[in-house]
Amino acid sequence: MRSSGYNRYHCYALAICVCFAVGAALTRADDTDHDAQAGSSASRKWLCSQTDICSPETELTPGLQYAVERFESQRDCRLSCGKYGSIWPMPTGEAGFIGNERVRFDPWKVRFHVVAPGEAATQFLRETNRLFVSNLLKECTRNCTLEGSKQILVRATVANETLVLDWATDESYALVVRTTDTATFVDIQAPTVYGARHAFETLTNLVTGSLSNGLLMASAARITDRPAFPHRGVLLDTSRNFVPLKFIRSTLDAMATSKMNVLHWHVVDTHSFPLEITRVPEMQRYGAYSSSQTYSRQDALNLVKYARLRGIRILIEIDGPSHAGNGWQWGPAAGLGNMSVCLNQSPWRKFCVQPPCGQLNPLNDHMYAVLKEIFEDIAEVGAPEETLHMGGDEVFLPCWNNTKEIRDGMRAQGFDLTEESFLRLWSQFHQRNLNAWDEITERMYPGIKEPKSVIVWSSHLTDPKYIETYLPKERFIIQTWVESQDSLNRELLQRGYRLILSTKNAWYLDHGFWGSTSYYNWRAVYSAGMPATQHRSQVLGGEVCMWSEYVDQNSLESRIWPRAGAAAERLWSNPKSSALAAQRRFYRYRERLLARGIHADAVIPHWCVLHEGKCL
């Protein structure tokens, strides 16, 4: 019954067209020159040491033992040097194996056989096959065409027909590669299409370009894998600075490369309301920066489909009661009163934590009616099983306290003006919206029997002293944005709350570019640990956050990537090993992002990438 109402997603895969030729054409000049400084050529061979370092045969370290296999390039060596080769994120299965022999092949000659119990799952996997070939083509360093190519036969078997993607979805997979005299056989087994999709992503990590034509793939491998956490996300703020769809799609492409599965779309804020709400067109009309800086309903639907094919949920946040200004200012002219108060007030420090100001009026019934219509649009755009992020952070109580109609309304309802009364008013705002969301989803998707929990940010309302009074743990998931040493996560877990972590002093990727904040390099992102307690099952996962006050499409990709990939391994594998042990796989992961058109920032001099172990 969980998949009831999902028929409208069964055919979405047909709407996505992958242009393979573009991938083949967009190879980087750096690929062909990658080993030039080390003097590589057809006769220059690379070896893998017992310490998992790839070195050219003329630069071997005396006294260090090396495997006997010779590889044609550094990237060829990296495919199987070390237990995990160049796979990112690190697999979690215990008995992994990657062989040292190679198969040379033409990516156009890979053949697929899909075994799935339903048409929707079958079509999903066929689209996954197309995306897989597109990514293979981007690994070609010269000409992908190879005469006499080894035949690659890929069989993908999925047990379940469901396309549901939520915190309960099984994303595990098993991947086996074996080679005979006649062909190379790849066998993928997964409970769901999403596990199979991850297996294809891992398979691309067993492939690299050849110095001559075609591609190289490990001829034998055995990998079992499953994520440590079901929520592995990137928050993207497109309200403070508008981000064109092209760059949101590239973010999704990079997330798919990293096996991340949630795009938390912070699409509206006090600054702008660019999202079309068909039931309330005034929101976008009054809230967008311009008519060209908007997202239509069809844009949002297409984005959800694009993400889903890449194993990614889109979780939309409609922030409130704070962070709600522009887009809400039309209430008085429409006879609906002040739906937002303190709107664009100055000096701003008296009314909000960041300009422009705006905070929803919790005593205006018309505001709740409009918010419910917004929720209805969001419910229609998302998948039936998808939930809603309700924001809830940085509520500025002096804004309400300095607004006469709110003070008068509170007194009329029996409130005094103490902090406790304002907290109760704030919690009533969330509860009333939760009731509206329940009514909407029960009506739209009656097959989903259990009401869906919603997400709110940590705030004064989630203080352990108050939270159990105001936010029931059964219905509210808390996304915390505190520093790693803060006790909030531990105290909320002890009280039975489910958490999504956005560790402020490691996973806030906007830091280091404004005020007194610090930049967190990929090692700091990687080293941000997850709670290791008996409450582990309550930790759904985490998100890195790209707030956009000082970012737009011109710098977006390099701010997020490859650092977000370090969090991706933390959330997929939760490794006990250090960033130092992961560094060579991470450098190869960055190169893979570049090959796929993602402008991932440099993290180390290229000399250090070419000369492994020399820059420790």
Q: Which residues contact 486 (CB under 8 A, 6 or more apart)?
A: none
Which residues partner with 158 through β-bridges? Answer: 190
108: left (phi over 0), alpha (psi -120 to 50) or beta: alpha
Counting other chains too, the contacts that 37-41 makes at CB distance below 8 Å and 24 or more residues apart are: 37/607, 37/610, 38/74, 38/610, 38/611, 40/73, 40/74, 40/211, 41/211
DSSP codes of every residue in 581-616: HHHHHHHHHHHHHHHTT--PPP-S-HHHHHSTTS--
Please report where in the chains the tokens 């020399």 appear, as a residue.
Answer: 614
Nearest alpha-carbon partner for 603 in 202, 588, 577:
588
* Calpha distance 150→129 (Å, rounded): 18
Residues 190/119, Cβ–Cβ less than 8 Å: no
Residues 391/320, Cβ–Cβ less than 8 Å: yes
What is the torsional sign of CA 337, 343, 349, 352?
A: positive
418 — phi, psi (to 5°)?
Answer: -80, 165
| Catalytic (active site) residue 557 | no
Nearest alpha-carbon partner for 80 in 595, 591, 592, 584:
584
448 alpha carbon, distance to own chain's centre:
25
Residues 356/329, Cβ–Cβ less than 8 Å: no
* Calpha distance 299→247 (Å, rounded): 13
Nearest alpha-carbon partner for 134 in 517, 597, 539:
597
Given 69, 373, 394, 491, which residue is catalytic? 394
Residues 445/410, Cβ–Cβ less than 8 Å: no
Instruction: Show which residues are catalytic.
Output: 394
